[in-house]
Amino acid sequence: MLDRDEDILQAAEDWKKAGRGVALATVVETWGSAPRPAGSSLAINDEGTFLGSVSGGCVEGAVVTEALDVISSGQPKLLEFGVADETAFNVGLSCGGTIRIFVEKVG
């Protein structure tokens, strides 16, 4: 598994050079208990292939779905998942914390 930052960024660059649409998701803020620290990254291509980790479980599935929208639209998004959020448990963030993830298209 490629999980070092440089591996994730290299994969994103390689996908881009191969003509794929690419997005990068980065944990920009955490509060309380969070599965991954700020700075954690996930690279996603337009086929839905991804490397890295921003949370785990269903949260990453939701981030991949949002990243596909970002690749299509070119508009970045700031996502928030937290235990107080009605959808948090549904996407698997039951650890009691909150995370914010910035998703941007790699241009």
Q: What is the mean pLDDT of residues 18-29?
A: 97
pLDDT confidence of residue 45: 98
Cβ burial of 60 (10 Å; 0-12, 13-18, 19+) is buried
- Name the residue range of residue 82's domain: 5-105
Whole-prediction pTM:
0.84
| Residue range 26-83, pLDDT digits in tens | 999 998 777 888 999 999 999 999 999 998 777 889 999 999 999 999 999 999 987 5
Say how many residues make up the chain: 107
| Structural domains of the chain, count | 1
